Chains A and B, each alone.
Chain A
């Protein structure tokens, strides 16, 4: 395989994510300092937890002096979707050697997952070289932008004034649309969407993510599976990879 393409494409994919997640890194840094974190602690959290939405939830609760175990539980609830990601990528990341494999799982954030699935679906192998090039760019950028936000936090002001609040939902919208040609996409999306909206109203954030995801996946298991000739996508390629 083309090792050069793997590296440059990984770096490129990482750069796009780095760019679109930068406002949130800055935002998290600013909010973290505002809620009583030091710059070091903010950077530590971005480097180790490495999950934007869960960090924002965690720091919000920390600022309200909520008990530590509730904070950890909430972060766990927001990040629970990663269980599904690691299951879905079991055959892709599972073929990396040991150390690389456990490192790859550490870097498994939403865009990393989406891009990896897309690359495999396009018939190109998501090698560790490609995966790590992308992940490293995103991780470094995430930690650096956190530090920038923590350092300049007080100068930022209201994120809504700069339209930062719309970036995350629009970004995830784009990722979701990338999968629209998949078998059962629309029923799954409807179930996930309606489930999360109802759960958001009655149970509240962050639990709506898990509720909606489980409903969407349930619908997919109930609906008939694709006919063998109909969809030569990941499932086929994953079998070859095994």
Chain B
């Protein structure tokens, strides 16, 4: 019974931490907009920079796991890359997952 209670309880300090982290995160999500709307017109260089955002940011979430991951992860990501040249997101995900499972359980390559 006591376990059940604590599973649903909220600690004041923890709640405060979560709320502050949420506010900080929300500021990052409006920050760029607030900055941009203070500009009268967008200079071409800034526009080039903004156009580069998806490739620049998303790559930082991909490259380190590939370089520092084991061979199982590397193989799965290369397979996913090749499949991704032709097929959409969900297929890439399924193939990547199948490849890592095959590497681990079929070929005995890491984790």
**Which residues of A are in contact with B by a Cβ distance under 8 Å?**
16, 19-20, 33, 37-41, 44-45, 48-51, 53-54, 58, 62, 68, 71-72, 75-76, 79-90, 93-94, 102, 105-106, 108, 110, 113-114, 117, 160, 163, 165-179, 182-185, 188-189, 191-197, 200, 205, 208-209, 211-217, 219-221, 223, 225, 233-235
User: Which applies to chain A's interface (DSSP): helix, strand, loop or mixed?
Assistant: helix
A90 and B37: CB pair below 8 A? yes
User: Which applies to chain B's interface (DSSP): helix, strand, loop or mixed?
Assistant: helix
Chain A nearest CB, measured from B50 CB (Å): 5
In the complex, which of the residues B37, B89, B97 contacts A163, with contact meaning CB atoms closer than 8 Å?
Answer: B97
Given A44-B15, A75-B24, A82-B29, A192–B45 Cβ distance below 8 Å?
A: no
Cα distance, A23 to B70, chains bound together (Å): 21
29 intermolecular pairs with C-beta atoms under 8 Å apart: A39-B8, A40-B10, A41-B11, A44-B10, A44-B18, A45-B22, A51-B25, A54-B21, A68-B16, A68-B17, A72-B17, A85-B32, A87-B36, A87-B50, A89-B33, A160-B111, A167-B93, A167-B96, A168-B65, A169-B73, A176-B58, A183-B51, A189-B56, A205-B64, A215-B56, A216-B52, A216-B59, A220-B56, A233-B51
What band does the interface of chain B fall in when counting residues whose beta carbon is under 8 Å from A? 35 or more
B92 and A196: CB pair below 8 A? no
Q: Which 5 A-B pairs have the closest CB atoms?
A: A216-B56, A87-B32, A220-B52, A170-B96, A212-B60
Contact pattern, B 17-46, Cβ under 8 Å of A = 1, otherwise 0: 111111011101111111111000000111
